[in-house]
Amino acid sequence: MSFQAYLDNIQAKTGNSPADWKGLAEAKGFATKGKMRADVKAMQIVDWLKSEYGLGHGHAMAIVALLKGKSQEK
């Protein structure tokens, strides 16, 4: 599955776009200006996404990759 397919599936499941996830991560203190903070561990974000949004590990890691700066495919 492509990175974009992961993001599309996540949006279909949760209603949150990639921009929404960046904002949500900022609100939780995991990101600054849409980028994952250096002192935050990926598993902190994965645990949050699994518990609050019911995402699986792979989909949660796609959000981590998004926050680390992986760009969306066009």
The per-residue pLDDT for range 31-64, each reduced to its tens digit, is 999 999 999 999 999 999 999 999 999 999 999 9
Structural domain harbouring 58: 3-68
Q: Does residue 52 belong to any structural domain of this protein?
A: yes
In 1-68, which ranges are E strands? 31-32, 35-36
State the greatest distance between any 2 C-alpha atoms of the chain, in Å, as a whole number. Answer: 30
Q: Does residue 74 belong to any structural domain of this protein?
A: no
The CB density around residue 6, as the number of other CB atoms within 10 Å, is 19
Judged against a pLDDT cut of 90, whether residue 14 lies above it is answered with: yes
Q: Does residue 73 belong to any structural domain of this protein?
A: no
> CA 54 to CA 73: how far, in whole Å?
24
What is the domain count for the chain? 1
In 10-67, which ranges are E strands? 31-32, 35-36
Confidence tier at 71 by pLDDT (50, 70, 90):
confident
Judged against a pLDDT cut of 90, whether residue 70 lies above it is answered with: no
> CA 10 to CA 48: how far, in whole Å?
15
Average pLDDT, the chain: 94
Q: What is the pTM of this model?
A: 0.91
Q: Does residue 26 belong to any structural domain of this protein?
A: yes
Q: Does residue 47 belong to any structural domain of this protein?
A: yes
